[in-house]
Amino acid sequence: MTASARAQRADDAIAVSGEFAFSKADFREIAKFVKDTSGIELSESKASLVYSRLAKRLRARGLKTFAEYRDTVANDDGERDRMLSALTTNVTKFYREIHHFEHLQKLFRGPLGDAAKRGERIRIWSAACSSGQEPYSVALSILSVIPDAPKLDIKILATDLSSDVVNHGRKGLYRAEELQDIPADVRKRWITPVVVDGENQFSVSETAKALITFRDLNLMERWPMQGPFQIIFCRNVVIYFDQPTQAKLWQRFATLLSPSGTLYIGHSERLSGPAVPQFRADGITTFQLLKGAAR
């Protein structure tokens, strides 16, 4: 058997057995597309996950093969977004990693709150907002300290790769079980029970929504905002990128932070690359940009 024939046989080998044929070549093509468009790396150990999540999309589109699905994704931005949403783990909850929000409130009881009350511009970026729990936790944390925050120049930008989860966040509707980590006094003041399509849900108040602007954004592409941001949350997403991409992102965040600005990262993440000497630790996975750091 020639080398090319052996390579072809390897490409044709079944990666996952199931309703649809899913070869190693199918997996590699999908993994390459995901890496090129989102920066997310999918190792071969993720083949079963990729199959199980995308098989649902094949059924929904009435497709028979993964080759057909790849062609569909390449020519349909909406399906590309659904694929990326299916393959990214949107695990989130209100007040996830509570120490970050305690730190945030401390800042707003101190220098940031004082600056806001003087009429200064305060900007916060939730760079992987998923379905909205993170930016709403930020907004509720600020409101708990400064109830009239919407009257001040305080704005939160909430972005994510998936337009589906961004739209979910923009609506601000959640089930009762999703609210369990919100303090009772905060729920009472800024969360309202509503009925949507006959289902009991809960809506974040318009007061909290007024602080947030939701936008689609791929972190691998050009960032249209100029900054500076006093605070950036980028948690539990960079871990899915390779090391060079991680280092590049940390540096890009550093250039958008104001002097002494704060970067919150995920519990499994670590700063790397040229950004490291520009920050000092200011708490658990909390970093402050050093004054005079290169911008």
Check whether residue 37 and residue 104 sit in a common domain. no
Looking at 53, 80, 187, 252, which residue is catalytic? 53
Q: Is 12 marked active-site? A: no
User: Which domain covers residue 44, as residue numbers?
Assistant: 3-87
> Can you give the CATH number for the domain in which 29 is found?
1.10.155.10
Q: Is 53 marked active-site? A: yes
Check whether residue 109 and residue 78 sit in a common domain. no
Q: Give the model's confidence band at 37: pLDDT under 50 very low, under 70 low, under 90 confident, else very high.
A: confident
pLDDT digits (tens, 9 = 90+) for 146-192: 999 999 999 999 999 888 889 999 999 999 999 999 999 999 999 99
Check whether residue 20 and residue 149 sit in a common domain. no
Domain's final residue, options 25, 54, 87: 87
Domain membership of residue 92 (yes or no) is: no
Check whether residue 140 and residue 244 sit in a common domain. yes
User: Is-contact 143 151, C-beta < 8 A?
Assistant: no
Check whether residue 103 and residue 238 sit in a common domain. yes
Q: Ramachandran region of residue 12, left (φ > 0), alpha (ψ -120 to 50) or beta? A: alpha
> Can you give the CATH number for the domain in which 268 is found?
3.40.50.150
- The mean pLDDT value for 81-103 works out to 87
Amino acid at 146: I
Check whether residue 52 and residue 18 sit in a common domain. yes
pTM comes to: 0.85
Domain membership of residue 11 (yes or no) is: yes
Domain membership of residue 200 (yes or no) is: yes
pLDDT digits (tens, 9 = 90+) for 254-293: 999 999 999 999 999 999 999 999 999 999 999 999 976 6
pLDDT digits (tens, 9 = 90+) for 195-219: 998 899 999 999 999 999 999 999 9
Looking at 26, 81, 160, 164, which residue is catalytic? 160
